[in-house]
Amino acid sequence: MAGRIPREFIDNLIARVDIVDIIDARVPLKQAGKNYQARCPFHNEKTPSFSVNREKQFYHCFGCGASGNVISFLMDYERQTFVEAVETLAETLGVDIPRESYGSENRGQESNLLPLYQVQEKAAEFYARQLREHPDAGKAREYLQTRGLNDEIISHFQIGYAPPGWRSLPTTLPADQLLASGLTISKEAGNFYDRFRDRIMFPIRDRRGRVIGFGGRVMGDETPKYLNSPETPTFKKHKEVYGLYELLATRKKPERIIVVEGYMDVIALFQHGIDYAVATLGTATSSDHAELLFRYAPEIVFCFDGDNAGRKAAWKALEASLPALREGRTSRFLMLPGSHDPDSLVREEGKEGFDLRLVEAKQLSDYLFQHLSENLDLNSIEGRSTLHQKASPIIGKLPAGVFRDMMQARLNQLSGHGKASSPSRNKSHRSAVQSVQRATSERAKPSMLRIILALLIQNPDFFPLIDAEARQELERDEKAGELAAKLFSILKERPEIHCGGIPEHFRGEAEYGLVLKLSVLEIPLSGLDARSEFSATLEKFVAQQKTMLVAQRLEWLEKKAERIGFVGLDEAEREEYRRLTRRK
């Protein structure tokens, strides 16, 4: 891994780049007053509701709610990772990305990545050529034909053939790079032999199209039937899936992604018009897989064989996807009949039959409770108690929010524990942030707190207007005090930061979504300019907080007096009570 990109560099990069130019190069914009508009690239619409603000360096869609800065746009529109988006912007400005210090081992690994991508691309081209030309490739071509694959689909996935023999790869390819990429295996005396021999070869590409590894399949009864590249600097099985690059080349914004177990499943589905399937790479579905796929589609359908191994794989996939199931995301489960796998089923039933089965795939909630309720008598106290005991920690893995509350309510209903009509209330900071998020989305006039935070995020130069007393009151607020404290720390450390750079300091944290909403919140200015509105609202907020503290203190004294009598208060408390009563 490379060293971490310095935060200051990211802030400066966002400040220097023009979001209008970046977006306009991908989605043509038209000027509308001080902003720029287009039809939203993130949802279908007939009239433009996608707005880009050059001054704030922000975009916002008033239709679907998508919003963010230039990094967010590249990540969502071009499906780039955070680092890839930073690299794109740096390349646009013609600047090099600095890295914070890291060890020599990592530095050497990073410098070797490009040659590894290149040697694997050349190997993929070699294998594809061998499938067409090698005298022993006839059985491979015959096998692919029996599986129903035509030349077009073979070319699309660049399927190839590794010839028999210990050394078939071109000698022009550097031996050290072949070894580092897992294409060869070392033996004694410094010699090497090919890892893949007499196998049909499936190049594995990352979402940018770079060959990162291979899967090889035998045509007879040899074992293992499938052999994958080992873990290398470019290939991490728990982070990559097969077929994602080919999927995105066909569908930029898929409505759903099907997860299957094998290369041939992906290819067979693709050939039958179901071109939105991917496969895990000889490993169980991981949370990294789920997060990766949810970046590209709001729904994942896990499709596994109906045997015991398939059921185990489905349950592992369910557990892996739980932390990624935020609002707007869903996962479903399709268990196939008999001895079928997706490849054999789609060839037997065709696209229409497979589509019908997809419609009937179980929602995660139904699959979870059905699985956990097996062999339990829910008419008995013992059975309901066991269900609650088994399901509670699983539901606890879901992100806090409406979906988790509803899952908890469903569990309470099935187990008879608590009141099903009263979803659990999470008192954590994350839930507090979400309550503010929901309030922010309301069309009512924003509260004073929201106005202050929104104006400050949109105008970081207002920070010096906040004195120590106001800062203390804002940080004490139970709804967004922690957000305010983090924001003040950022503005103190980065006095020159731009509005568009602030969300990057919250990316990956509970407050990130709220910061995005506040960044684009329209503030009614009551006839004042933004700076005056900020100062006036801040003054009112502090006064309100003081009044609330007075009321709380007076209530405490009144309750104490009710318990022990007014004469039971000491002299200072009686005087305070009189003073606060007069003030009230």
pLDDT one-digit tens code per residue, 79-103: 788 888 998 898 888 888 887 654 4
CATH code of 7-93, in short, is 3.90.580.10
Q: Do 336 and 368 form a contact (C-beta atoms < 8 A)?
A: no
Q: Worst-scoring range by mean pLDDT, 72-76, 112-116, 528-532?
A: 112-116
- At 103 the pLDDT is 44
What pTM did the predictor assign? 0.62
Q: Which own/partner contact pairs does 550-553 have at CB distance under 8 Å and 24+ positions apart?
A: 550/580, 550/583, 550/584, 551/584, 553/580
**Average of pLDDT values for 556-567?**
66
The backbone torsions φ and ψ at residue 362, rounded to the nearest 5 degrees and listed phi first, read -75, 140
Whether the pLDDT of residue 375 is over 80: the answer is yes
| Of 208 and 262, more confident | 262
| Of 338 and 534, more confident | 534
Strand partners, 202: 215
Cα→Cα distances 270→28, 80, 120, 228, 355, Å:
32, 24, 24, 21, 13
Residues 442-463 have pLDDT tens digits of 445 678 888 889 999 999 999 9
**Which segments of 62-219 are extended strands (E)?**
67-68, 160-162, 184-186, 192-194, 199-205, 211-217
What band does 426 get if pLDDT is binned at 50, 70 and 90?
very low
**Ranges of each domain in the chain:** 7-93, 111-235, 429-544
- At 155 the pLDDT is 93
- At 321 the pLDDT is 92
SS (H, E, C) 494-512: CCCCCHHHHHHHCCCCCCH
What band does 584 get if pLDDT is binned at 50, 70 and 90?
low
Q: E strand or H helix at 421, and its extent?
A: none
- Reference 163, options 133, 185, 119, 204; nearest CA is 133
Whether the pLDDT of residue 109 is over 50: the answer is no
* pLDDT more than 70, % of the chain: 85
Cα→Cα distances 517→65, 400, 442, 522, Å:
9, 19, 11, 10
Q: Check residue 242 and report its DSSP letter.
A: B
What band does 440 get if pLDDT is binned at 50, 70 and 90?
very low
**CA-CA-CA-CA torsion sign (231, 236, 240, 246):** negative
Residues 487-520 have pLDDT tens digits of 999 999 988 888 889 999 988 888 888 888 898 8
State the Cα–Cα distance between residues 32 and 48, nearest whole angstrom.
Answer: 11
Whether the pLDDT of residue 53 is over 80: the answer is yes
Residues 142-186 have pLDDT tens digits of 999 998 899 999 999 999 999 999 999 999 999 999 999 999 999
- Which superfamily does CATH assign the domain made up of 111-235 to? DNA primase, catalytic core, N-terminal domain (3.90.980.10)
| Of 417 and 260, more confident | 260
- Reference 499, options 15, 59, 75; nearest CA is 15
Hey, what amino acid is at 6?
Answer: P
Fold of 429-544: DNAb Helicase; Chain A (1.10.860)
**Would you call 105 exposed, middle or buried from its count of C-beta atoms within 10 A (0-12, 13-18, 19+)?**
exposed
- At 333 the pLDDT is 96
Instruction: Please state whether beta strands 256-260 and 226-228 pair in parallel, antiparallel, or not at all (unpaired).
Output: unpaired
Average pLDDT, the chain: 85
Extract the tokens encoding 205.
Answer: 């590409």
Instruction: Please state whether beta strands 299-304 and 199-205 pair in parallel, antiparallel, or not at all (unpaired).
Output: unpaired
Hey, what amino acid is at 418?
Answer: G
| Of 545 and 69, more confident | 69
Q: Do 151 and 158 form a contact (C-beta atoms < 8 A)?
A: no
Residues 282-294 have pLDDT tens digits of 889 998 899 889 8
- At 105 the pLDDT is 42
